[in-house]
Amino acid sequence: MIEILNSRSKLIFNQFNVEYWIFIILCLSQICSCKLNWKGFEKNGNHWGCTITLRKVEQN
């Protein structure tokens, strides 16, 4: 699966936590109601990672 990606794509893919992408997909598909707050990038060890804050949106 990953082998079909080129080295650059694998590098970009590995820079992000898969759990973040799962939450993003859930939010965008409205499976869960939440507010996505993009905090930008933070240096984490030898690679760059993203900081994402998710908050559930209360339903009236």
In this structure, what token pair is assigned to residue 5?
């990606």
Closest CA relative to residue 57, chosen from 34, 30, 32, 27: 34
Residues 6+ positions from 16 with CB-CB distance below 8 Å? 49, 50
Read off the pLDDT of residues 18-39 as tens digits, 9 standing for 90 and up: 666 776 676 666 544 445 444 4
Q: Measured at the alpha carbon of residue 30, what is the angle toward residues 29 and 32, in degrees to the nearest 5?
A: 120
Kindly report, residue by residue over 48-58, the tens digit of the pLDDT.
444 444 555 55
Q: Which residues are 41's β-sheet partners?
A: 50
| pLDDT per position as a tens digit, 3-15 | 444 455 555 555 5
Q: Taking the complete model, does pTM exceed 0.75, yes or no?
A: no
